Amino acid sequence: MEAELAAAELRPARADVDLGAVRRNAERIARAVLPASLCAVVKADGYGHGAVPCARAALDGGASMLAVAVVDEGVELRRGGIEAPILVLQECRGEAVAELVRNDLVATVDSVAGGLELIKASEGRTAAASGRQKVHVQVDTGVHRRGAEPESLKDVAAVLAGSPVVELAGTWTHLAVADDPADPFTAKQLHRFRAAASSLRAAGIDPGVLHASNTAGIAHTAARHDYVRAGMGLYGFAPPALARGALVGLEPALRLSAKVTMVKTLDRGERPSYGRRRPLPERSQVAVLPLGYADGVPWRLFECGGEVLLGGLRRPLAGSVTMDQVIVDCGPEGGVEVGDEAVLLGEQGQERITASEWAARLGTIVYEVVTRIGPRVPRVYH
Residue 334 has a pLDDT of 86
Q: Does 235 qualify as catalytic in the annotation?
A: no
| Catalytic site residue from 154, 259, 274, 367 | 274
* Per-residue pLDDT at 239: 80
Give the residues across from 259 on adjacent strands. 341
Q: Where in the chain is the domain with CATH 3.20.20.10?
A: 19-243
* pTM for the full predicted model: 0.92
| Other beta carbons within 10 Å of 271 | 14
Q: What is the pLDDT along the chain (382 residues), one digit of tens a residue?
A: 555 555 556 789 999 999 999 999 999 999 999 999 999 999 999 999 999 999 999 999 999 999 999 999 999 999 999 999 999 999 999 999 999 999 999 999 999 999 999 999 999 765 445 689 999 999 999 999 999 999 999 999 999 999 999 999 999 999 999 988 889 999 999 999 999 999 999 999 999 999 999 999 998 899 999 999 999 999 999 887 776 777 888 999 999 999 999 999 999 999 999 999 999 999 999 999 999 999 999 999 999 999 999 999 999 999 999 999 999 999 999 899 999 999 999 999 999 999 999 999 999 999 999 999 999 999 999 9
Q: Which CATH architecture has domain 254-381?
A: Beta Barrel (2.40)
In the CATH scheme, what architecture does the domain 19-243 have? Alpha-Beta Barrel (3.20)
Instruction: Identify the active-site residue in 43, 47, 227, 235.
Output: 43
Residue range(s) of every CATH 2.40.37.10 domain in the chain: 254-381
Query: Is 43 noted as a catalytic residue in this protein?
Result: yes
User: CB under 8 Å to 372, separation ≥6 — which residues?
Assistant: 48, 296, 298
**pLDDT value of residue 127:** 42
For residue 339, count CB atoms less than 10 angstroms from its CB and return exposed for 0-12, middle for 13-18, buried for 19 or more: exposed
